[in-house]
């Protein structure tokens, strides 16, 4: 039995005052239970405050990225230790916006995934094809290679702390979501790919989230698919009411 996860990726949204307001709203309406784990990923500068505000509430705080080095001359970057020591033990890696706008390659992501494992962080690892890949019928191959190149060097035990997020690039922020069938088809493929590499027990235990224009209106149907274990939510995670409705959809 895989516990569902609903994670909110706030991207470059919300100033400090806005972060405080949204977290307080979330605390007042979200009813957490053991059916769903809730995570939010505010901007780096607001992570400490988010951790403080949530010390008495079961929402975990994640970073949207981190560097693979322990420390050093990497202007503008943030290390795993910096995150861990402020109480942030979860990181989103390989988001398509990082891949597209900040040139994050599979090679870089492999190093980041290794660092997350070494430092005991929960790694929400994003994969997903572009529209042209899907049109060309290459979506399975692309996703398989993203997994293989960045994660398949890791030992089995690393997967206790890995969650995969399937986010078709054409569905992110576009309002065009994958159909529940398209999501299920890819999630099943991801699980089979994991099974071939690591065995069925491991593949069966790994949670696979769907991301890309998840909204209160479509969440329930997407989450009802057998291989969909929750969602990585962008735009709709910025409104407490919508995010809460998506969390509720994951419970049913």
By the rule CB under 6 A, 222 interacts with ligand PGA: no
By the rule CB under 6 A, 42 interacts with ligand PGA: no
Neighbours of 199 (CB within 10 A): 11
Nearer to ligand PGA, 198 or 207 (CB): 207
* Closest separation in Å from C-beta 6 to ligand PGA: 11
Q: What number of chain residues touch ligand PGA (CB under 6 A)?
A: 13
Q: Which of 67, 95, 139, 187 is catalytic?
A: 95
By the rule CB under 6 A, 129 interacts with ligand PGA: no
Q: Which of 67, 104, 167, 187 is catalytic?
A: 167
Q: Please give the full DSSP string across 140-169, using - where no structure is assigned.
A: HHHHHHHHHHHHTTS-GGGGGGEEEEE--G
Tokens of 114: 């290794």
By the rule CB under 6 A, 213 interacts with ligand PGA: yes
Stretch that binds ligand PGA, among 38-46, 79-87, 139-147, 212-220 (CB under 6 A): 212-220
Q: Which of 173, 179, 199, 217 binds ligand PGA (CB under 6 A)?
A: 173
By the rule CB under 6 A, 94 interacts with ligand PGA: no
Q: Which of 88, 228, 232, 249 binds ligand PGA (CB under 6 A)?
A: 232
Q: Is 13 a catalytic residue?
A: no
Q: Is 104 a catalytic residue?
A: no
Neighbours of 120 (CB within 10 A): 11
By the rule CB under 6 A, 133 interacts with ligand PGA: no
- Total number of residues shown for the chain: 252
**Are residues 127 and 143 in contact, defined by beta-carbon separation less than 8 angstroms?**
yes
Q: Judging by beta carbons within 10 Å of its beta carbon (0-12, 13-18, 19+), is residue 178 exposed, middle or buried?
A: buried
CA distance 46 to 50: 6
Q: Which of 190, 235, 242, 247 binds ligand PGA (CB under 6 A)?
A: 235
Provide the pairing of β-strand 4-9 with 90-93: unpaired
CA angle 32/34/35 to nearest 5° reads 90
**Chain contacts with ligand PGA (rule: CB under 6 A):** 9, 167, 172-173, 211-214, 232-236
Return the active site residues: 95, 167
């Amino acid at each position: 039995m895989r516990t569902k996860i609903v994670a909110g990726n706030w991207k470059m949204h919300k100033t400090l005052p806005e972060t405080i307001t949204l977290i307080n709203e979330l605390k007042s309406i979200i009813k957490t239970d053991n059916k769903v784990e809730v995570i939010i990923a505010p901007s780096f500068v607001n992570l400490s405050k988010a951790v403080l505000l949530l010390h008495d509430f079961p929402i975990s705080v994640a970073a949207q990225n981190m560097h693979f080095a322990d420390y050093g001359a990497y202007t503008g970057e943030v290390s795993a230790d910096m995150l861990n020591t402020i109480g942030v033990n979860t990181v989103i890696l390989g988001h398509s916006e990082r891949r597209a706008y900040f040139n994050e390659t599979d090679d870089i992501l492999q190093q980041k995934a290794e660092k997350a494992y070494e430092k005991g962080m929960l790694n929400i690892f994003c994969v997903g094809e572009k529209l042209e890949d899907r049109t060309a019928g290459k979506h399975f191959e692309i996703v398989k290679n993203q997994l293989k190149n960045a994660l398949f060097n890791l030992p089995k035990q690393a997967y206790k702390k890995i969650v995969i997020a399937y986010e078709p690039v054409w569905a992110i922020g576009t309002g065009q979501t994958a159909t529940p069938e398209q999501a299920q088809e890819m999630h099943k493929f991801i699980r089979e790919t994991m099974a071939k590499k690591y065995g069925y027990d491991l593949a069966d235990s790994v949670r696979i989230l769907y991301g890309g224009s998840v909204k209160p209106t479509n969440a329930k149907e997407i989450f009802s698919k057998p291989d969909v274990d929750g969602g990585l939510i962008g735009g709709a995670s910025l409104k407490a009411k919508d995010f809460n409705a998506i969390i509720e959809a994951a419970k049913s």
